[in-house]
Amino acid sequence: MKNDDLRKRYEAAFMPNYGVPPLALARGEGSRVWDVDGNAYLDLIAGIAVSSLGHGHPALVEAVSAQVAGLAHTSNLFLHEPEVRLAEKLRGLLDADARVFLANSGTEANEAALKLAIKYGKSNGRSYFVATENGFHGRSMGALALTGKDAIREPFGPFALDVRFVPYGDADALKAAVTGECAAVFLEPTQGEAGVVPPPEGYFAAAREICDATGALLVADEIQSAIGRTGTWFVFRHELAGATPDILTLAKGLGGGLPIGACVAFGEHGGIFAKGDHGSTFGGNPVGAAAALAVIGTIERDGLLDHVTAVGERLAAGITATLHPLLKGVRGRGLWRAVVLDGARAGAVEAAAREAGFLVNAVQPDAIRLAPPLILTPEQAGSFTDALPAILDAAAEKED
């Protein structure tokens, strides 16, 4: 079997930080992928909320092919039109006075946000940061310092930053932690790696008020949630009722499969960096920028925000209607959902789903993450919910 052969070669050639993935994928079309042995799967994770337009979308293929044929790289020594158009497009979607830094990933976008916050803090006599327990902001040393997951954080400490962690969703704890000496608060408007956990109603707005009262920056990490994933361009639009964060970070779905990230600073904070304060050789490269423009343009042209809302509601309704002792419920918005389980059964459910032809992600021991391409059809969503009882039965047998 080709899968087995490639897994053995992978294990011999790569560092063991990912373990050995269960499948070797060969190709994709729309919301479906095939492994190297020819088995087909409905892709309900989309490269961890990355493949916004699915696989092989003509708009993305055309944009990337045309760009790489003409100009693939410039470095930051020269500018090019696709990056300018992308920055202008993001400003337009945000409808705000903002400036953009383009990077290659979510971690890099958060590193840029952190450097902005550090410089802001130094100029204002502020010395510490606040983030949340179970929050995830990346694995490089700055972003990792802000990540509230002890299992991945503690092996690499101590960190140079003073970061104070509070329970996610607890506005009182946040208020107590944020003083006039706090440089910035880093929050996900919905926690992704914690299991697609939305905040209590009013929590993010309370964070905005707390930061306004103390002068701390509010940084919204929408690496996973933005660019249509929840049926709107940005989750903070749900949570802030017209207000904005001071800094916003984006990545994942922005490039539709090409590596790109963005750090957006609003108002006067867009001028914090001086020349030479930050940079990236590959960030904002012409191919990544062209991909992002194709993603945004397709979402607009094809009405995918409304589509995501409708299909996401159908998906959630089908899960909710499933009666099974392993199933506790569903949470999330749009096509960003967590199937919540009764107990630590996620690994078994992921394996059973894969055997049934569905790729999902055991993001937490008791939660399965669904983040399919934004083009997922109602029929495809229904095929998963129809199969869910049998998947849960198979998972229960595995556990037994």
What digits encode the pLDDT tens for the residues 126-178?
999 999 999 999 999 999 999 999 999 999 999 999 999 999 999 999 999 99
Cα separation of the two ends of the chain: 28
Question: What pLDDT is recorded for position 398?
Answer: 81
DSSP annotation of 268 reads: G
Whether residues 83 and 165 share a domain: the answer is: yes
d(CA 316, CA 325): 17
pLDDT the model gives residue 400? 54
The pLDDT of residue 238: 86
Entry pTM: 0.96
> Cα–Cα distance between 25 and 23 in angstroms, integer?
6
Strand 40-43: give its sheet, edge to edge.
25-29, 32-35, 40-43, 358-359
256 and 293 belong to one structural domain:
yes
Residue type, 335: L
Q: What's the average model confidence in pLDDT over 318-334? A: 97
How far, in whole angstroms, is CA 14 from its chain's centroid? 25
**CATH at residue 45:** 3.90.1150.10
Are 94 and 113 found together in one domain? yes
Instruction: Give the domain-ending residue among 301, 324, 356.
Output: 301
Q: Please tell me the distance from the alpha carbon of residue 278 to that of residue 273, in angstroms, as a whole number.
A: 7
Parent domain of 331:
2-56+303-399
Q: Are residues 124 and 256 in the same domain?
A: yes
Q: Are strands 98-103 and 261-266 parallel, antiparallel or unpaired?
A: antiparallel
Domains in the chain, number: 2
Where does a domain end: 246, 279, 301? 301
| Cβ atoms of residues 150 and 122 within 8 Å | no
CB-facing half-sphere around the CA of 350: CA atoms within 13 A:
20
366 and 326 housed in the same domain: yes
Beta bridge partners of 244: none
- How far apart, in Å, are the Cα atoms of 10 and each of 23, 192, 239, 362? 11, 28, 43, 22
Q: Are residues 331 and 270 in the same domain?
A: no
Please state whether beta strands 32-35 and 40-43 pair in parallel, antiparallel, or not at all (unpaired). antiparallel
d(CA 241, CA 258): 31
Dig out the tokens for 255 from the structure.
């490039």
- Asked if residue 220 lies in contact with residue 213, where contact means CB atoms within 8 angstroms, the answer is no
Q: Give me the helix-helix angle, 81-94 and 286-301, nearest 10°.
A: 40
91 — pLDDT class (breaks 50, 70, 90) = very high
Encoded tokens for 301: 């042209």
With 70 as the cut, is the pLDDT of residue 84 above it? yes
Q: Are residues 279 and 387 in the same domain?
A: no
pLDDT tens digits, one per residue of 237-288: 988 877 899 999 999 999 999 999 999 999 999 999 999 999 999 999 999 9
pLDDT tens for each residue of 188-205:
999 999 999 999 999 999
Measured CA to CA, the distance from residue 79 to residue 285 in angstroms comes to 9
**Between β-strands 128-132 and 327-333, what pairing exists: parallel, antiparallel or unpaired?**
unpaired
Tokens found for residue 275: 């020349």
Q: Find the mean pLDDT for residues 63-88.
A: 98
Contacts of residue 179, defined as CB under 8 A and 6 or more positions apart, other chains included, come to 214
Query: Are 138 and 281 in a shared domain?
Result: yes
DSSP assignment string, 143-184: HHHT-B-HHHHGGG---SS-EEEE-TT-HHHHHHH--TTEEE
Residues 30 and 102 in one domain: no
Query: What percent of the chain has a predicted confidence (pLDDT) above 70?
Result: 100
Question: Strands (DSSP E) along 189-326, which ranges?
Answer: 217-221, 247-250, 261-266
Q: Which long-range contacts does 279-282 make (Cβ < 8 Å, 24+ apart)? A: 279/76, 280/76, 280/102, 280/103, 280/104, 280/108, 281/75, 281/76, 282/73, 282/104
Same domain, 272 and 356: no
| CATH code: domain of residue 235 | 3.40.640.10
Q: How far is it, in rounded angstroms, from Cα 288 to Cα 83?
A: 9
Same domain, 133 and 277: yes
| 337 and 195 inside one domain | no
Query: Of 301, 317, 346, which residue constitutes the final position of a domain?
Result: 301
Average pLDDT score over the chain: 97
Helical (H) or strand (E) element with 123: helix 106-123
Rounded to the nearest 5°, which phi and psi values hold at 254? -60, -40
With a cut of 90, say whether residue 399 has pLDDT above it. no
